[in-house]
Structure 1
Amino acid sequence: MKLMHLSLAVAATLLASTAGAQEYTFKVGAAYINPNATSSDITGRMALFGQPRNVTPKIQLEVQPQTAFIFSIARSFNENWEAEVLLGFPPKHDVKMRLNNDGIKQLATFSPASPPPGRTAEEVMAAKHITSYDGKVVATLTQFAPTAFINYKFGTSQSTWRPYVGVGVNYTHVKPDPTAAGEAFYGDGKVKTKVSDSWGLALQAGVSYHIDDKWLISASYATAQVKNKIRINTDNADSVHTASYKFNPSIWMLTVGRKF
């Protein structure tokens, strides 16, 4: 954590510094964000058909890809090194429920009037209810994820093509909201979800094409270490769920930039 805070402080100092700095570069463009994020199994208790029960094993939450508007500001402090802060309009990701429990899926094929041996009508009804939400969007996640990089640019200031690599730190804050399907899945009061914030290492690599001494086009790829803990509960004290995420996002960016 101290290293991450130090990295942010260094980047902020470089951006604010005037001594020895060569120029600012502003970039705007679009990003395709594939979170590559499926939660751990949801664990806990839920009240279903009036009865508290353990959460069915092998239910996860899968975050879907999204595009977003992005922008960045970079401050060079010599010909090859720069500090960059990457921001953007917070994207909203759909979150789908995934059921990977073949036993529950098989149980859902029975009629409550004729449950299989050793099972009750209530268990069949619960299985049907859970299975009906497999693949549905049960929530959205709006993420705010500023990222600070220290970049090394290959070549010289006169080069037309300039590959670059960067290392830095990412901070991710997530605002979750249940959908109508998410509320209906529980059906026992307002669904409240909390997601922890995350700090993690970030990496990027890209190339810039310099149209002239002011304008450039950049294409890049970035990723970061993002870890979140999730807590879901309703007004019913018996409904408390927990899970965790390990995001390994693939972020593809195309931007237009101008030097000042």
Structure 2
Amino acid sequence: MKTMHLSLALAATLLAGAASAQEYTFKLGAAYINPNATSSDITGRMAIKPPGFPAALTKDVDSGIQLEVQPQTAFIFSIARSFGDNWEGELLLGFPPTHDVKMRMNNVRIQQLATLNPAGPFPPGVTAGTVVAAKHIASYDGKVVAKLKQFAPTAFINYRFGTSQSTWRPYVGVGVNFTHVKPEPTTAGEAFYNDGKVRTKVSDSWGLALQAGVSYHIDDKWLISASYATAQVENKIRINTDNADSVHTASYKFNPSIWMFTVGRKF
């Protein structure tokens, strides 16, 4: 509901004073989104129950376990209002894309323990439970453990080079991004814990956004545009299961690379 209110507020800002507006441009197209987002090491305690093991193992989260958000394509659209010949305000929206989230395990000790036989013999300080847990954790390296749907409306103030008569018009923009994400564990994510329902909460984020692009004006109404955008996005994530001792946290810093291609019409 908050994200809907935000979008309506941004749209109202752009549409305010429509009677005196010089020009509106509506764009429709596609975007390739590379989040460039790997979480910090997950910290806290976790409960896992490897298949065949009689009880859940509750242990500190090993260092080097991270979550990596994968690239995705998305359908996008924007509405822009001009303020004179060179300035415009633009609201960029789109259908929320769903990103795969893979587990990454960068821990040499886990990799070494995973090679041992659970029946023994074991090095000093190593138990059968330690080996079983290491094998279980290592087996999920690279697997998709969650799906992440993101809603990220972004408002820009753009400066357009050239004049209204120019065929080619490069532009640059600066603005603010709001990102809301909704995570859902996959079957693999549930199986990783095997200890009840996995619950994940992710915080919202506000941050600076930048873009640069160029528009080719086919005639006085139609144009095509290609652009690149990025934003500062930081979210905190909290994961827990039915086991009260299983709570762990991490943070994401997104530095997304967003390539967009759109077709637009001026009104």
Matches within 5 A, 1:1-260: 12-18=12-18, 20-49=20-49, 50-114=56-120, 115-260=122-267
Give me the TM-score of the superposition, normalised by structure 2: 0.92
> What residue in structure 1 maps to residue 52 of structure 2?
none
Structure 2 CA distance for partners of 1:10 and 1:52, relative to 1, 3 Å: closer
**Secondary structure class of the residue paired with 1:141:** strand
Shift of 1:14: 4.1
CA distance in 2 between partners of 1:13 and 1:185 (Å)? 46
Distance apart, 1:116 and its partner CA: 2.6
Secondary structure of the structure 1 residue equivalent to 2:180: strand
Matched residue of 1:117: which SS?
A: coil
Contact 1:147 1:202 in 2 (8 A): yes
Q: Is the 8 A contact 1:167 1:201 kept in 2?
A: yes
Q: Distance between the aligned counterparts of 1:13 and 1:174, measured in 2?
A: 24
Contact map agreement 1:149 1:167 (CA 8 A) in 2? yes
Amino acid at match of 2:106: N
For residue 16 of structure 1, report the CA deviation from its aligned partner. Answer: 1.9
Instruction: Write the letter of the residue equivalent to 2:152.
Output: A
Residues 204 and 223 in structure 1, CA contact (< 8 A), matched pair in contact too: yes
Check conservation: 1:44, 1:54, Cα contact below 8 A. yes
Residue 126 of structure 2: SS of its match in structure 1? Answer: coil
Q: What TM-score, normalized by structure 1, do the two folds share?
A: 0.94
- Which residue does the alignment assign to 1:5? none
Specify the code of the residue in structure 1 equivalent to 2:21: A
In the superposition, relative to structure 1, how do residues 236 and 242 fare at CA in structure 2: closer, same or farther (>3 Å)? same
State the distance in 1 between where 2:57 and 2:145 align: 22
Following the alignment from structure 1 to structure 2, what is the Cα–Cα distance between the partners of residues 100 and 82?
A: 46
Q: Distance in 2 between matches of 1:210 and 1:65?
A: 30
- In the TM superposition, residue 117 of structure 1 has moved relative to its aligned partner by 3.0
Task: Please state how far the C-alpha of 1:118 moved relative to its aligned partner.
Answer: 2.4
Note the aligned Cα RMSD (angstroms).
Answer: 1.4
Distance 1:107 1:71, change over 3 A: same
Q: Secondary structure at the match of 1:212?
A: coil
Aligned residue identity for 1:39: S
- The number of residues matched between the two structures is 253
SS of the aligned residue for 1:90 comes to coil
Kept after mapping to 2: 8 A contact 1:154/1:163: yes
The aligned amino acid for 1:239 is: S
CA distance in 1, matches of 2:198, 2:241: 5
Gap runs ≥5 in structure 2: 1-7, 50-55
The answer on whether the counterparts of 2:10 and 2:91 sit within 8 Å (CA) in structure 1 is no
| CA spacing shift, 1:259–1:225, aligned 2, 3 Å | same
Q: Give 1:246's aligned amino acid.
A: K
